[in-house]
Structure 1
Amino acid sequence: MQNETKLTAGDAELTLEPGHGCRIASLKVAGTELLRQGERFGAFLMVPWAGRTENGVFRNGGVTHQLPVDAPPHAIHGTVRHTAWQEASPATDTTASYHVDLADPWPYQGKVTHTVELAPHSLKLTLSVEVPAGGDSFPAQAGWHPWWNRNLGNGGQDVELSFRAGWQEERGDNHLPTGNRITPKPGPWDDCFGMPDGVDVTLTWPGELRLNIQSPTQWVVVYDEQPEAVCVEPQSGPPNGLNTTPRLVTPIDPLEISTLWTWHRIG
């Protein structure tokens, strides 16, 4: 398995690690690293669920499944971030595509594909979840968990977040949405927001760089409770969505989600 895939476009450089969950390990613009470094960080993929699944339990029709509880008392962020991916098509200087089969502890057969398209001022990412012909349908989610550096390390100011949400999912004591939608509150956040017209969040490092995260999906989790980084996570449903807002993936109806990150230098 290839350890790294490097893409370049203009002064943008991206490093993908297919052997480590196909995560984006690095995204540099003009030599400046935008993502927090470390094996748990970068930008990892959340499939076949995003965020926490309550007590690691989900139901598919009348069948109940138990997932490993890796964020007690819940299961968190899916399984594919721990696995090695295979090349789906030959990489170019600016594009790469990898896939992985869903496997134990996930109880259903499926295939996940991650496609990465880098341009000088943008990055488009696409995730798809497919059920093989004759396979059983199942609920699933997909999304990205990027760790953006709070400070770019060039002597500038910390990042500022800007977005307008239609609602905020009220968070219960168990760290999961209660089912109530409330008026968005000021941060700090570890919260899910609804954006009915699609995700649209701007990160600004004053005087240095402005980066916009967009996605046709209406769900985004914002996490900014750590001093080193902030997370803006487009995902196809809210935390615990396998149970509360299940999106069924079938042999004729795959799940697909995309996100576009665009940036330009300022100052």
Structure 2
Amino acid sequence: MVRIDAGGWDAVLAPQDGGGLTALRFRGQDILVPTPAGERLGGPFGAFWMIPWANRLDGGRLGAHRLPVNRVADGTAIHGLSRDRPWQVEHATPDRAVLAQSIVAGPYRYAARLEHGATGEGFALDLAVTNTGEAPLPFGAGWHPWFVRPPGTWLSFRAAMRFTHDARCLPVAAAPCTGLDGDEAAFLGLDTHFAGWDGVARMAWPGIGLTLAAEGALATNLQVYAPAERAVLCVEPSSHVPDAPNRPGPARHGPMRVLAPGEILTGRIILSAECSHLPKGGA
């Protein structure tokens, strides 16, 4: 495990578990649902990265290629390749950590770099993915956090389009929208994709407010998941629509990006928090 503890932020990274976060707190308050001891990321806790695609590919289809179907129940390849593979620690200090990964799997050859840092702006996550293969391929990325959802949670963001989806949560059609702005009545039960996102989402819980600001490839699309049976809220910046390679209609609102050999996909997420009151001893 790698720990960052600076600027009021306390984060625990798991390089061997897909480079994800097993915990994230601000001034002692949980932002992410803490990962239970001994559990691997992917359940309703922590946060993980989705690379080189986000969400689902129907049948694992990527043009002429077939990726392993790891969600057998709905016949999809879900959440990419990086989350199931370890990362190497290139740098680790109390306020900054850099992880690196090199992947050779199926048609993909890529190098990924993740930088996490507690800065004056907040808690920042920087991603860079380079196509190290010999042929152009579609690439994408996303971040899948499991935020806490105590009573009184509020979610607000702007977007231009909201998708309907089938029983497997694959996009069907998009309709104009303004985004979301409300409590659980507005988002409970969603597993829904939004396009034309302006890159900013705000969450509020009793005593604390969080702003998620995305840049680059991660600032265009957003997946929101709020299951009724679990007190979690997933607000997932993504670079493309789910199953974009197989759905040209929906993909107009967020295609994967074809990277030539040597080209790089980059994105940034900055989390900033404000407390209406500080824990005892807070400065």
TM range (shorter): 0.7 to 0.9
1:86 match: 88
For the residue of structure 1 that corresponds to 2:143, the secondary structure is strand
Picking from 145, 149, 160, the partner of 2:154 is 160
Q: Is contact 1:124-1:258 (8 Å) kept?
A: yes
Q: Which amino acid aligns with 2:118?
A: L
Q: How many residues align?
A: 251
- Unpaired stretches in structure 1, ≥5 consecutive residues: 152-156
Q: Is contact 1:203-1:212 (8 Å) kept?
A: yes
User: Displacement, 1:84?
Assistant: 0.8
1:174 and 1:81 map into 2 onto residues whose CA distance is 21
2:83 and 2:70 map into 1 onto residues whose CA distance is 15
2:166 and 2:245 map into 1 onto residues whose CA distance is 17
- Unpaired stretches in structure 2, ≥5 consecutive residues: 181-185, 278-283
What are the superposed Cα offsets for residues 236-259 of structure 1, whole Å, 9 maximum, x if unpaired? 111112434231122242111111
What are the superposed Cα offsets for residues 144-199 of structure 1, whole Å, 9 maximum, x if unpaired? 10000112xxxxx4321112221112223442112433435843311111235x32
Q: Is contact 2:102-2:112 (8 Å) kept?
A: yes
Picking from 209, 232, 240, the partner of 2:235 is 232
2:70 match: 69
1:256 match: 266
Structure 1 segments, 4+ long, off by >6 Å, are none
Task: Compute the RMSD of aligned alpha carbons.
Answer: 1.9
Change (3 A) 1:28 1:174: closer
1:96 and 1:64 map into 2 onto residues whose CA distance is 34
Change (3 A) 1:242 1:92: farther
Identity %, equivalent residues: 26
2:281 match: none
TM-score (norm 1): 0.87
2:56 match: 52
1:221 and 1:116 map into 2 onto residues whose CA distance is 22
Q: Which amino acid aligns with 1:91?
A: A
For the residue of structure 2 that corresponds to 1:20, the secondary structure is coil
For the residue of structure 2 that corresponds to 1:91, the secondary structure is strand
1:21 and 1:56 map into 2 onto residues whose CA distance is 20
1:21 match: 18
Q: Is contact 1:108-1:136 (8 Å) kept?
A: no
What are the superposed Cα offsets for residues 57-114 of structure 1, whole Å, 9 maximum, x if unpaired? 111xxx3324323252211111111111012x3222211111111233x422111111
Change (3 A) 1:137 1:109: same
2:99 match: 98
Q: Which amino acid aligns with 2:164?
A: E
Q: Which amino acid aligns with 2:17?
A: H
